Amino acid sequence: MKLSRADRSMLADWSFTIDRGLLTALLALVAIGVVLSFAASPAVAIKKGLPTYYFVERHVAFAAIGAVLMLVISLFSPASVRRLAAVLLLASVVGMIVVLFKGTELNGAQRWLTFGSYSLQPSEFAKPAFIVVIAWLYGEAAGRSDMPALPLALLLWGVVAGLLVAQPDVGQTVLISTTAGLLYLLAGLPPIGAAILALIGSGGFWLAYMNFGHVQSRLEKFFSAAPFENYQVGRAMQSFSEGGFFGRGPGEGTIKSVLPDAHTDYIFAVIGEEYGVIACVALLAVFAYIVIRAMQRASDEPTAADRLAVQGLALLLGLQALINMGVNIGLLPPKGMTLPFISAGGSSMLALAITAGMLLALTRWRPDPTRLKKPRRVATIDDVHFTSHTPSV
């Protein structure tokens, strides 16, 4: 179907204003994730005593729902995106509070609400909503002095971070805090505040190390003299050397049979073993393109809140991908974080689809009202007639 620029429908407007490069890259990630689920998930399902394609079918279903959700949200205006973020953040915070009392515990963490055979992780949905809301507050703080926007932003940051630590989920706390801290700098707020926030963050990380055994254990193993003491990390690093540049071939990898999280946290290692380092670099390039393209679009955005929201969402997506990849190649200690759109996980997939939809909506091409030139008024015969009959003083 060919759309005309004379068509003023919502679909036509979306077609001509969407950033097609970003859209293509994000949909490519969804498609790549579906293909790679066939490589990593069956072995895990068999090991858990589930039907062979149990995780594949779930991944395909959530990827399809996520793609539709992404496209629907991309139709929104910036104001609608902020309203969605506010509602979603409120619902997510309520869900995170409920999790502390009635959540399902898994591997020492209480992060999920269970509904029959499905589980929901509210903190995943809090991330994009938090970034959009705090970007708006930062924008107001930078441009207005009659609103306590900065104290509200810091209070909101503290509430979300506190709820994440209570689960505990130190990795996600580090992710949103790093993103929020970078946004603080991008908003041009007082540098002394950034220094204070950095000190608070360092103190919080030290407290997490002292009070959470799993954090202490992971850090000590990571910085120990024996890099392969942590079996999962050591095996993941080994998979890249076994895969080489071009990989052992689809279905020929062994890491997915020995790691319990091969379809989630360590899927990047599966890619390295079966498809090779070149495929890993290509995947990294797709994420890099999304972040760089979003940052370029943000530079053209005249509204501070929208510019910061685009930058924040791009950083959130890029940092999460870098953390997952860094853990897989042994540059970072294990954090239990998914690779966006590639790893299995229903809550993660839907939350990332919302993140991508907001990013697409905020990067659509819109005219800048401050740059629009008013058409020059051309004199008419009535003007000439009025001037010729105006009496002189």
Which among 366, 338, 374 is positioned nearest to 66, based on CA atoms?
Answer: 338
Cβ contact 127:172 at 8 Å? yes
* Residue owning tokens 């001037």: 387
Which among 177, 170, 142, 139 is positioned nearest to 156, based on CA atoms?
Answer: 177
Tell me the H-state helices in 167-190: 170-186
Cβ contact 58:346 at 8 Å? yes
Cβ contact 247:273 at 8 Å? yes
DSSP-assigned beta bridge partners for residue 105: 110
Q: What DSSP string runs through 324-364?
A: HHHHHTTSS-----PPTTTS--HHHHHHHHHHHHHHHHHTS
Distance CA 135, CA 287 (A): 22
Burial (CB < 10 A; 0-12, 13-18, 19+), residue 37, is buried
Q: What is the pTM of this model?
A: 0.88
Distance CA 313, CA 133 (A): 11
Strands (E), 63-155: 104-106, 109-115, 118-120
Axis crossing angle, helix 191-211 with helix 213-222, rounded to the nearest 10: 100
pLDDT, one tens digit for every residue, the chain (393 residues): 565 555 667 777 888 889 999 999 999 999 999 998 888 888 888 888 888 888 899 999 999 999 999 999 999 999 999 999 999 999 999 999 999 888 777 766 778 888 777 788 999 999 999 999 999 999 998 877 778 889 999 999 999 999 998 888 888 999 999 999 999 999 988 888 888 988 988 888 888 888 777 778 778 777 775 555 566 777 777 888 888 888 888 877 777 777 777 888 888 988 998 898 999 999 999 999 999 999 999 988 888 999 999 999 999 999 999 999 998 888 888 877 889 999 988 889 999 999 999 999 999 987 665 544 555 555 555 555 545 555 554
Distance CA 187, CA 141 (A): 9
pLDDT value of residue 265:
84
> In Å, how far from its chain's centre is CA 192?
28
pLDDT value of residue 348:
92
pLDDT value of residue 286:
96
Residue 324 in tokens = 């997952």
